[in-house]
């Protein structure tokens, strides 16, 4: 079984995301999760809830 290549600076491409690429979405998640979590944390000042919101956001985006 071939392993997918690791995320690069050029990942994820919008076309790959639109096509439903799980790898592209995983790269987007890895690249943006912490930045989004910090943003939400500044808004609500609750670390656990910020993490929940980020998880829900990415879950909905993946669907």
Q: How do residues 3-16 score in pLDDT, each as one tens digit?
A: 555 566 565 677 88
Q: What are the respective helix, strand and coil percentages of the chain, to the nearest 5?
A: 70, 0, 30
Q: Rounded CA gap, 36 and 42, in Å?
A: 10
Percent of the chain with pLDDT over 90: 40
Q: What is the chain's alpha carbon radius of gyration, rounded to the nearest angstrom?
A: 13
Domain-by-domain residue ranges, the chain? Answer: 14-62
- Asked if 23 and 16 touch (Cβ cutoff 8 Å), the reply is yes
Question: φ and ψ at 19, to 5 degrees?
Answer: -80, -5
- Asked if 53 and 45 touch (Cβ cutoff 8 Å), the reply is no
pTM over 0.75: no
Task: Compute the average pLDDT of residues 37-54.
Answer: 96
pLDDT at 1: 45
Q: How do residues 13-32 score in pLDDT, each as one tens digit?
A: 778 888 888 888 888 888 89
pLDDT at 38: 96
């Amino acid at each position: 079984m071939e392993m997918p290549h690791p995320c690069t600076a050029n990942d994820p491409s919008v076309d790959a995301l639109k096509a439903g690429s799980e790898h592209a979405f995983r790269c987007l998640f890895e690249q943006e999760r912490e930045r989004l979590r910090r943003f939400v944390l500044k808004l609500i000042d609750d670390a656990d809830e910020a993490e929940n919101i980020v998880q829900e956001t990415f879950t909905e985006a993946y669907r």
